[in-house]
Amino acid sequence: MRSLPLKGAISDDQLEIIIDGGVLVENGIIKAVDTFSKLKSEVDSSDIDYLEKPTVGLPGLIDAHTHICWAGSRAKDYALRVSGKTYTEILKEGGGIYETVEKTRASSEDNLVDLIEKRAKTHLQNGITTIEVKSGYGLSLESEIKCLNAIKRANQTVSSDLIPTCLAAHVPAKEFNNAVEYLHYVENEILPQVQEKELANRVDIFVEDGAFSVENSKSFLHSVKEKGFDITVHADQFTSGGSKLAVEVGALSADHLEASSEKDIEFLSQSSVVANVLPGASLGLGIPFAPARQVLDKGGILAISTDWNPGSAPMGDLLTQAALLSAYQKLSAAETFSAITFRAAKALKLSDRGILNPGFLGDIVGFPTNDFREILYQQGQMKPYIIWKNGTKQ
């Protein structure tokens, strides 16, 4: 995938397939990608992981949007939604995210570390070697720091890379009179601590009815940017407005986009902001997928992530979700793989992964097939059988 463009549509014949290929990795970094016969003379045979069965190798997968730092379940919400209640109604009645906040606040940091580790390990088995993880179920200085600490600790024990994001601006905490008051608290009390303790250099906000308005989010994001944070936005999930704001403030990505208008997609696609669509949230909420095809046709940068969280996206299976989205939105395999590798890396501002090329991390996943098309065709049922993280077999 090393010669594929960062933006726009891609056809499968643009994939550069190396038959009988090999990857030479030294100290965790790729040194060469070529045919096995050319590379094998450069290393001791005892250092070769020789694959007996037909294998398609891809860069380690990247999930650029998750909320896997949570405690408790929201099975009750799910049942309410399938019987007709909407996500926003549940939220406005003080349930939904607030229910998870209660459970997460009551959970110890150690317990959260265990939960994150467990979820990250499941992800690694499915080929995901880099995972963005948001806080956002704390909504107080103490609990947000606890969540970000838990993410930091889990990152030290799991072999995948966890990229932390502070989503203290998920919804206004109930202890405050209004959203503006709470955003001031996030800005003046929480973020300075996050920065001082070096817990995250990314900040997210949920721009939505029942969460934060475009106007309030705008001034918050401008000052967050001034503090030196990178920005990402929960945008256009139920109502339009967030993606336009994401472009205006220079966010790294605008995530969701289920409710984006054609004009929104056009504006976003002309920018360098990654359009990060979250099919798992559509599947969890029973709503249409984001217009991923349109993003590509208008020249945008498409990433696909799971949004793994207890409320809207409980499944958390990236490959299954990407495969389903590709069937519904008519995405080529090249577009789909790009969206969960190097284009997702762009959403996280990571320039060292997502492609198998010299200088990049030795993050590689192998699927048991000799035809790359099998992977999406099997809609997530074909799992990678071999995974290397930084060149080390997992």
Could you tell which of ligand NIG, Fe ion, none binds residue 269, using a CB distance below 5 to 8 A set by kind?
none
Q: Segment near ligand NIG (CB under 6 A), from 19-27, 96-104, 327-335, 344-352?
A: 96-104
Contact string 183-212 vs ligand NIG (x = CB under 6 A): -----------------------x------
Burial class (CB in 10 A: 0-12, 13-18, 19+), 386: middle
d(CA 122, CA 20): 29
Using CB under 6 A as the binding rule, whether residue 115 contacts ligand NIG is answered as no
Closest CA to 33 of 19, 49, 52: 19
Task: Out of 163, 205, 277, 281, point to the residue binding ligand NIG (CB under 6 A).
Answer: 281
As given in the structure block, the two tokens for residue 201 are 């250099």
Report long-range pairs for 116-120 (Cβ below 8 Å, ≥24 apart). 116/68, 116/69, 116/150, 116/151, 116/154, 116/158, 116/162, 117/154, 117/157, 117/158, 119/66, 119/68, 119/308, 119/316, 120/68, 120/154, 120/158, 120/160, 120/162
Decide: 201 and 229 in contact? Cβ < 8 Å.
yes
Task: Give DSSP secondary structure letters for 112-177.
Answer: HHHHHHHHHHHHHHTTEEEEEEE--S--SHHHHHHHHHHHHHHHHHSSSEEEEEEEEESS--TTSS
d(CA 301, CA 183): 30
Task: Out of 57, 60, 96, 241, point to the residue binding ligand NIG (CB under 6 A).
Answer: 96
**What residue type is assigned to position 320 of the chain?**
T
For residues 243-272, which are near ligand NIG according to CB under 6 A?
Answer: none
Sign of the CA dihedral with 122 first, then 278, 331, and 360 last: negative
CB of 10 to ligand NIG, least distance (A): 27
Contact string 58-87 vs ligand NIG (x = CB under 6 A): ---------x--------------------
Using CB under 5 A as the binding rule, whether residue 307 contacts Fe ion is answered as yes
CB of 307 to Fe ion, least distance (A): 4
Could you tell which of ligand NIG, Fe ion, none binds residue 237, using a CB distance below 5 to 8 A set by kind?
ligand NIG
Q: Segment near Fe ion (CB under 5 A), from 14-22, 156-164, 304-312, 382-390?
A: 304-312
d(CA 147, CA 108): 9
Closest CA to 129 of 323, 335, 394: 394
Closer residue to ligand NIG in complex, CB, 312/341: 312
Using CB under 6 A as the binding rule, whether residue 133 contacts ligand NIG is answered as no
Task: Out of 66, 237, 260, 320, point to the residue binding ligand NIG (CB under 6 A).
Answer: 237
Could you tell which of Fe ion, ligand NIG, none binds residue 104, using a CB distance below 5 to 8 A set by kind?
none
Phi, then psi, of 184 in degrees rounded to 5:
-65, -40
Q: Segment near ligand NIG (CB under 6 A), from 9-17, 93-101, 189-197, 266-274?
A: 93-101
Closer residue to ligand NIG in complex, CB, 24/101: 101
Residue number, nearest CB to Fe ion: 307
Contact string 253-292 vs Fe ion (x = CB under 5 A): ----------------------------------------
Q: Which residues bind Fe ion (CB under 5 A)?
A: 307
Q: Which residues bind ligand NIG (CB under 6 A)?
A: 67, 96-97, 100, 206, 234, 237, 281, 307, 309-313
